[in-house]
Structure 1
Amino acid sequence: MERRSFLRAAVVSAGSVALGFSVTRQALAYPAQTGTSPYGALQAADANGIMLPQGFTSRVIARSTQAVANTGYTWHSAPDGGVCFADGTGWIYVSNAEMGSGGGGVSAIKFDSNSNITSAYRILSGTNRNCAGGPTPWNTWISCEEVDTGYCWETDPYGVNAAMRRAAMGRFNHEAAACDPVRKVVYLTEDKSDGGFYRFVPTTWGDLSSGTLQVLKTDLTWATVPDPDGSPTTTRKQVSGMKVFNGGEGAFYRNDICYFTTKGDNKVWAYNAAANTLDVVYDDNLTSNPPLTGVDNITGASVGDLYVAEDGGNMEICVITPDDIIAPFLRVTNQSSSELCGVAFNPAGNRMYFSSQRGTSGSSSGGITYEVTGPFRTSL
């Protein structure tokens, strides 16, 4: 049996027997294996120190502690999770600030239809270690605090409405959020080595002010967390039989599946809510010459590709294709003391945004936020 078939058989066996998961037809192809990128090999680093496929270019759109071009707004330090929102003929990119001691929050950059920056502004201030988060179907940004007593904050990308703390979503070491409009829940990851995978069930869909916090158990049932405030007992210690995930990171929902990452074991997971299955999309221990280590933020393109940013490794954003091939999409050079985060596409899907949290300096004040333009594929 060739290595690829053996590895896939191994993960299917582990999922079906040892963990009690049912295995979907789609999951029979997991985990992704190292292969050739649909965009070809990376070229020599450009003027910004980024290695990209042929036909792609990069530009710097913001630097921490410096004014964003064409605005008087100073970009935040330690940029982390981000996403884009449509805005008329243009769009808005929001970015978290992973700073402690009340120095966290969220900033936004507004672009016109030609990707010219027209304004930049703050939409959340005074919070702690805003790491990742997720967009809602009603065009708000859930920004998550990555501290043991962290909250989720619902923010307005357009800068009109005040940010709101959503205490009902639980108080724990939040990382990312992903909305499931079919089941009307929000999935939440927890950045702890013994963390849980949660879902928040709002009392009314579209209103995150009240609802029920639940956590996934090893038998793939959902149990209500008795005390979402997590005091005196942390949320991950309240439910017997909770399924443990080693360092939950990014999350992205598409077509009944919530994809999420765990940094402690370098895995990308797929929770299929319709089939109630849990599968491993990528595992660096089950992949020859694994290109992806230090898994972090994750997003997807409309064509079906997933993009995963590295916290560490060799500073790459890797693409996982629908036919289960994983390969580097880009690599940032000479920034080994940083991490990549905030990967997101504009609404048209022809521009990618991401940040190097500590840039070339290795300091949170040295963060750099980039835009990548090129022939992103629109069909398979």
Structure 2
Amino acid sequence: MERRNFLRASVLGASTVAFSGSLWQGAALAAPAQPATGPYGALQAADANGIRLPAGFTSQVVARSRQVVSGTSYTWHDAPDGGACFADGSGWIYVSNSEINPGGGASAIRFNSAGTVVSANRILSDTRQNCAGGKTPWNTWLSCEEVSRGFVYETHPFGGAAVQRPAMGRFTHEAAAADPVRRVVYLTEDETNGRFYRFVPTTWGDLSAGRLQVMVAGSATSGSFTWANIPDPDGSPTLTRDQVPGSKSFNGGEGCYYANDTVWFTTKGDNRVWQVNLTNNTYELAYDDSLVSPGTPPLTGVDNVTGSTSGDLYVAEDGGNMEICLITPDDKISPFLRISGQSSSEITGPAFNPAGDRLYFSSQRGTSGSSSGGITYCVTGPFRR
């Protein structure tokens, strides 16, 4: 498969991203990504923050759990998880979930045009194990509860009360990705027999009502699919994943990312990145660690995923050797960074600022291995744009 230019984009104002280019120009059933030298070269020795980066890149600590965010009076939350960036005039906001239960919720840090912290605040409180989520085109953050019959909460980084969105289904939510073309939101489920869903709002921009649908497909790793309505999105007494015969099972749904008529999502249980072509309703594998040949798979513990404007996917590891790996448009995979000395943690919340020259992410449990030891970082450098 040739994914050339699948994410090539330009930022238009505070909230609009325009995508161009083409997807999958070639065989629909080509081999998944294989190891290769990365576009930025080899990783250098660990820096003062314990992060190994390519030459020309630098890291900084933005926030630590249970410590006041520098330049503010706000104490950063435990177990930072899924995140996203929002344009805010000449600056931006980074939003991060808290994967603790009870408590959960989400926080936001506002930066000026120089990348200096201006303020920080809570945008969601008193929820349960908020893991990943997704950004909407109307600049809200969907914070998802990773508990049985969990909810999606729509939060407001720019101010406003968070709202529970039960119409989007009650299940073990993980990530969400908005598709402005089809006017739907894709949703992953973190269960060993989880499903891949989409929510079709009655009115685009209003998530209070609509239809929850599930992917229906065969058991193969590639093929065609359809969508079927979930009869009871509340998931009681029958769980949503058990309501539609023929719905496709996925082993531990994690990160989810949309761009240019394609949605990618990851499954941690089998270390795969799935690629769904929405123009012809087909799916296949973008990466599978069992199909790496020759050599050792560079990416294990497959988890959160995001993309850059150049067309590169960045996939974070839950465990593994604590790397964010990069999958290029020509299907080559390599480590982009590695965190040293934090083997009891996981990397979460990768997200680029609007200009695409800063990558934010967290080590959920840091050096302590505890949810109270989370560290949120920023990497700056010559990212391909």
Q: Is the shorter-chain TM-score for this pair beyond 0.5, marking a shared fold?
A: yes
Whichever residue aligns with residue 332 of structure 2, its letter is I
Distance 1:24 1:240, change over 3 A: farther
Q: Determine the C-alpha separation between the residues in 2 that align with 1:153 and 1:25.
A: 39
Alignment partner, residue 249 of structure 2? 244
Q: Is 1:186 matched with 2:185?
A: yes
Instruction: Choose which of 347, 359, 363 in structure 1 pairs with 2:366.
Output: 359
Q: How does 1:301-340 map to 2 (within 5 A)?
A: 301-340=308-347
8 A Cα contact 1:105 1:123, kept in partner: yes
Q: Is 1:269 matched with 2:274?
A: yes
Q: Could you say what secondary structure the match of 2:125 adopts?
A: strand
Distance 1:34 1:303, change over 3 A: same
Q: CA deviation at 1:27?
A: 4.0
Q: Determine the C-alpha separation between the residues in 2 that align with 1:208 and 1:171.
A: 14
8 A Cα contact 1:42 1:51, kept in partner: yes
Per-residue CA distance 1:197-221 (angstroms, 9 max, x = gap): 0000000000000000000011511
Q: Determine the C-alpha separation between the residues in 2 that align with 1:94 and 1:325.
A: 30
Alignment partner, residue 294 of structure 1? 301
Alignment partner, residue 173 of structure 2? 174
Whichever residue aligns with residue 68 of structure 1, its letter is V
Whichever residue aligns with residue 111 of structure 2, its letter is F
8 A Cα contact 2:29 2:284, kept in partner: no
Alignment partner, residue 125 of structure 1? 125
Whichever residue aligns with residue 368 of structure 1, its letter is I
Alignment partner, residue 260 of structure 1? 265
Q: CA deviation at 1:149?
A: 1.6
Q: State the superposition RMSD in angstroms.
A: 1.0
Q: Determine the C-alpha separation between the residues in 2 that align with 1:256 and 1:320.
A: 18
Per-residue CA distance 1:234-265 (angstroms, 9 max, x = gap): 00000101100000000000000000000010
Q: Determine the C-alpha separation between the residues in 1 that align with 2:47 and 2:90.
A: 30
Alignment partner, residue 75 of structure 1? 76
Query: Runs of 4+ in structure 1 displaced over 2 angstroms?
Result: 23-30
Distance 1:330 1:64, change over 3 A: same
8 A Cα contact 1:94 1:157, kept in partner: yes
Q: How does 1:7-86 map to 2 (within 5 A)?
A: 25=26, 27-86=28-87
Whichever residue aligns with residue 283 of structure 1, its letter is D
Q: Determine the C-alpha separation between the residues in 2 that align with 1:154 and 1:26.
A: 39
Alignment partner, residue 4 of structure 1? none
Q: CA deviation at 1:275?
A: 1.2
Per-residue CA distance 1:173-227 (angstroms, 9 max, x = gap): 0000001111110000000000000000000000000000000011511110000
Q: Determine the C-alpha separation between the residues in 2 that align with 1:273 and 1:81.
A: 24
Q: Determine the C-alpha separation between the residues in 1 that align with 2:81 and 2:98.
A: 6
- Identity %, equivalent residues: 70
8 A Cα contact 1:352 1:371, kept in partner: yes
| More helix as a share of residues | 1
Q: CA deviation at 1:274?
A: 0.8
8 A Cα contact 1:29 1:324, kept in partner: no
Whichever residue aligns with residue 267 of structure 1, its letter is R
Q: Is 1:223 matched with 2:219?
A: no
Q: Determine the C-alpha separation between the residues in 2 that align with 1:317 and 1:182.
A: 29
Q: CA deviation at 1:377?
A: 1.1
Per-residue CA distance 1:8-40 (angstroms, 9 max, x = gap): xxxxxxxxxxxxxxx972645440000000000
Whichever residue aligns with residue 364 of structure 1, its letter is S
Q: CA deviation at 1:113?
A: 0.1
8 A Cα contact 1:51 1:333, kept in partner: yes
Per-residue CA distance 1:319-373 (angstroms, 9 max, x = gap): 0000100000000000000000100000000000000000000000000000000
Q: Determine the C-alpha separation between the residues in 2 that align with 1:28 and 1:305.
A: 20
Q: Determine the C-alpha separation between the residues in 1 that align with 2:368 and 2:297.
A: 27
Instruction: Choose which of 274, 280, 291 in structure 1 pairs with 2:285.
Output: 280
Q: Determine the C-alpha separation between the residues in 1 that align with 2:132 and 2:279.
A: 25
Alignment partner, residue 97 of structure 1? 98
Instruction: Choose which of 366, 375, 379 in structure 2 pairs with 1:368.
Output: 375
Whichever residue aligns with residue 167 of structure 2, its letter is A
Q: Determine the C-alpha separation between the residues in 1 that align with 2:25 and 2:56.
A: 37
Q: Is 1:108 matched with 2:113?
A: no
Whichever residue aligns with residue 339 of structure 2, its letter is V
Q: Determine the C-alpha separation between the residues in 1 that align with 2:370 and 2:27.
A: 42
Alignment gaps of 5+ in structure 2: 1-23, 219-224
Q: Determine the C-alpha separation between the residues in 2 that align with 1:361 and 1:91.
A: 30
Q: CA deviation at 1:270?
A: 0.6
Q: Is 1:344 matched with 2:351?
A: yes
Q: Could you say what secondary structure the match of 1:154 adopts?
A: strand
Q: Determine the C-alpha separation between the residues in 2 that align with 1:172 and 1:155.
A: 19
Whichever residue aligns with residue 257 of structure 1, its letter is T
Deviates more, 1:211-220 or 1:196-205: 211-220
Alignment partner, residue 3 of structure 1? none
Alignment partner, residue 222 of structure 2? none
Q: Determine the C-alpha separation between the residues in 2 that align with 1:79 and 1:27.
A: 37
Alignment partner, residue 148 of structure 2? 148
8 A Cα contact 1:104 1:128, kept in partner: yes
Distance 1:198 1:128, change over 3 A: same
Alignment partner, residue 13 of structure 1? none
